[in-house]
């Protein structure tokens, strides 16, 4: 059962995220396979709530399913090359109609939630032309986005909706990739977040090979990957931007978007209710987030961190996993402590205490329950082991009552109480009966 403290922490998290993302720009790609889902109206309602919460929302609806339908009805054939649809000019009016159909569906549903939206022709494009002898017909590439016009619409309180159509300077239309369009919009607007809301797409250990050391949730999902880890994941799975597996293409686009300034990209399973608000306002998240290295990291604890660190430690004091510590104790040992911070919150802490005989102790290891699946604890331990090595410390020990298996998985070996430095051995009690592990 969730305790009052946990409930309070969750509420504080929502408030912190509301403050952080007020006036933030987010770009949402909606897979049109979701439009027939009973959850579609729920996703639209969530988007309306995000808009009402002060976020600036841009929507790019996919149109592949609808384009397939209208071309099939007209008995028009098409082919694919590198995941690009190739048709002749006779198909373009129907492609344009299908693209605006899905955009109108989104706009109508937003209107039902009392949100104003506008569909526009803000994309300038050119013909993809002929590459290596292949004529790409009606397929186009993005030349330019009218970002100033889009920004004005956002500032006026409207949600811009982008059909997957671009026009050249003469007004000739071209069919452009919706997922590439969403990524291009996010980078051009310097969006804070880019979401790909897909039909039944998740990155899990059941579906893909997960390289060693990547964070996994208890259910086997990959909650987050850095831009560097994306490369390792793609290599491990022989994935590429031209793969038939759309997840690989989305990861390639996500990695590129992050390198171009988009803070975070999220791949979400649209078959789950509430994925958008959970991913934005919840510390648990609901999909896979791609992030740059400045998303979070380990740093030295400061005096201003101490109230938050004590709040992080409190559940561990109450469960007996950690010895109780006071503000005065943390201040006196402040140089020994490091914290893991992201999204403005302290998510983990740990300390390294050096003893006169040359040994060192890793202590006060605490990771927020909502983030334990992300591998933060292991990163903290490895960071402190590297710090110990730089201090020429050859032996590091820990004392634990409930985390022996975890420390053993990190390479620590059981040792005796007698091996401890005298001053630390004097504090050991048979009542607590902590076990010693050493590396």
pLDDT tens string 315-360? 999 998 999 999 999 999 999 999 998 767 898 999 999 999 999 9
Q: Decide if pLDDT at 17 tops 70.
A: no
Angle (nearest 5°) at CA 378 between 344 and 316? 70
Residues 59 and 25: beta-carbon distance below 8 Å = no
For residue 33, the tally of other CB atoms under 10 A from its CB is 17
Residue 79: band (very low, low, confident or very high) from pLDDT cuts 50, 70, 90: very high
Residues 276 and 195: beta-carbon distance below 8 Å = yes
Q: Decide if pLDDT at 370 tops 80.
A: no
Mean of pLDDT values over 88-107: 96
Q: What is the pLDDT of residues 110-135, one digit of tens each?
A: 999 999 999 999 999 999 988 888 88
Alpha helices in 189-326 (DSSP H): 227-236, 246-259, 275-281, 306-319
Residue 179: band (very low, low, confident or very high) from pLDDT cuts 50, 70, 90: very high
Q: Decide if pLDDT at 306 tops 60.
A: yes
Q: What is the pLDDT of residues 188-241, one digit of tens each?
A: 999 999 999 999 999 999 999 999 878 777 778 888 888 999 999 999 999 888
Residue 385: band (very low, low, confident or very high) from pLDDT cuts 50, 70, 90: very high
Q: Decide if pLDDT at 15 tops 70.
A: no
Q: Determine the 3-state secondary structure of 311 from DSSP.
A: helix
In sequence order, the β-bridge partners of residue 345 are 342
Closest by Cα among 71, 79, 87, 66 to 173: 87
For residue 410, the tally of other CB atoms under 10 A from its CB is 15
Q: Determine the 3-state secondary structure of 185 from DSSP.
A: helix
Q: What is the pLDDT of residues 274-287, one digit of tens each?
A: 999 888 876 656 78
Q: Decide if pLDDT at 6 tops 70.
A: no
The pLDDT score that the predictor gives to residue 151 is 96
Residues 176 and 185: beta-carbon distance below 8 Å = no
114 sits in the region (left: phi over 0; alpha: psi -120 to 50; else beta) called: left
Higher pLDDT, 98 or 368: 98
The pLDDT score that the predictor gives to residue 40 is 97
For residue 77, the tally of other CB atoms under 10 A from its CB is 11
Contacts of 11 (CB under 8 A, 6+ apart): none
Residues 189 and 146: beta-carbon distance below 8 Å = no
The pLDDT score that the predictor gives to residue 248 is 96
Contacts of 430 (CB under 8 A, 6+ apart): none
Q: What is the DSSP letter of 283?
A: S
For residue 280, the tally of other CB atoms under 10 A from its CB is 25
- Name the residue with tokens 């897909």: 198
How are strands ordered across the β-sheet holding 56-61? 117-119, 159-161, 56-61, 25-30, 193-198, 264-269, 288-291, 224-226
157 sits in the region (left: phi over 0; alpha: psi -120 to 50; else beta) called: left
Q: What are phi and psi of 420, to 5 degrees?
A: -75, 155
The pLDDT score that the predictor gives to residue 286 is 75
Entry field: residues in the chain: 439
């Amino acid at each position: 059962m969730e305790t009052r403290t946990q409930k309070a922490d969750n509420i504080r998290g929502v408030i912190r995220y509301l403050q952080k993302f007020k006036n933030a720009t987010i770009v949402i790609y909606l897979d049109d396979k979701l439009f027939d889902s009973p959850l579609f109206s729920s996703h639209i309602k969530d988007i309306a709530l995000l808009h009402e919460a002060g976020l600036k929302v841009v929507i790019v609806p996919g149109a592949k399913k609808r384009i397939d339908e209208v071309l099939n009805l007209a008995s028009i054939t098409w082919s694919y090359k590198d995941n690009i649809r190739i048709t002749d000019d006779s198909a373009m009016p129907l492609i344009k109609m299908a693209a605006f159909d899905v955009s109108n569906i989104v706009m109508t549903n937003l209107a039902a939630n009392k949100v104003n939206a506008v569909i526009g022709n803000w994309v300038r494009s050119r013909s993809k032309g002929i590459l290596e002898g292949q004529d790409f017909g009606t397929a186009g590439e993005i030349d330019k986005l009218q970002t100033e016009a889009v920004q004005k619409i956002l500032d006026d309180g409207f949600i811009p909706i982008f059909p997957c159509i671009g026009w050249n300077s003469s007004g000739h239309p071209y069919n452009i990739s919706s997922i590439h369009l969403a990524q291009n919009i996010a980078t051009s607007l310097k969006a804070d977040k880019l979401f790909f809301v897909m039909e039944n797409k998740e990155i899990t250990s059941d579906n893909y090979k997960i390289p060693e050391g990547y964070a996994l949730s208890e259910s086997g999902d990959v909650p987050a990957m850095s831009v560097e880890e994306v490369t390792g994941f793609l290599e491990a799975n022989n994935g590429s931007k031209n793969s038939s597996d759309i997840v690989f293409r989305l990861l390639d686009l996500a990695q590129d978007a992050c390198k171009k300034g988009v803070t975070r990209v999220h791949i979400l399973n649209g078959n789950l209710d509430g994925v958008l608000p959970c991913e934005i306002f919840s510390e648990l998240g609901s999909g896979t987030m791609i992030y740059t290295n400045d998303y979070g990291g380990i740093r030295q604890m400061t005096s201003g961190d101490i109230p938050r660190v004590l709040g992080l430690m409190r559940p561990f004091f109450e469960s007996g996993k950690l010895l109780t510590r006071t503000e005065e104790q943390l201040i006196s040992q402040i140089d020994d402590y490091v914290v893991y911070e992201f999204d403005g919150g302290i998510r983990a802490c740990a300390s390294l205490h050096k003893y006169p005989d040359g040994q060192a102790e890793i202590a006060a290891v605490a990771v927020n329950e909502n983030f334990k699946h992300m591998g933060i604890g292991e990163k903290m331990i490895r960071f402190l082991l590297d710090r110990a090595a730089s201090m020429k410390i050859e032996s590091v020990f820990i004392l634990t009552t409930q985390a022996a298996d975890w420390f053993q998985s990190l390479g620590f070996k059981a040792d005796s109480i007698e091996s401890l430095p005298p001053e630390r051995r004097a504090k050991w009690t048979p009542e607590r009966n902590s076990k010693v592990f050493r590396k």
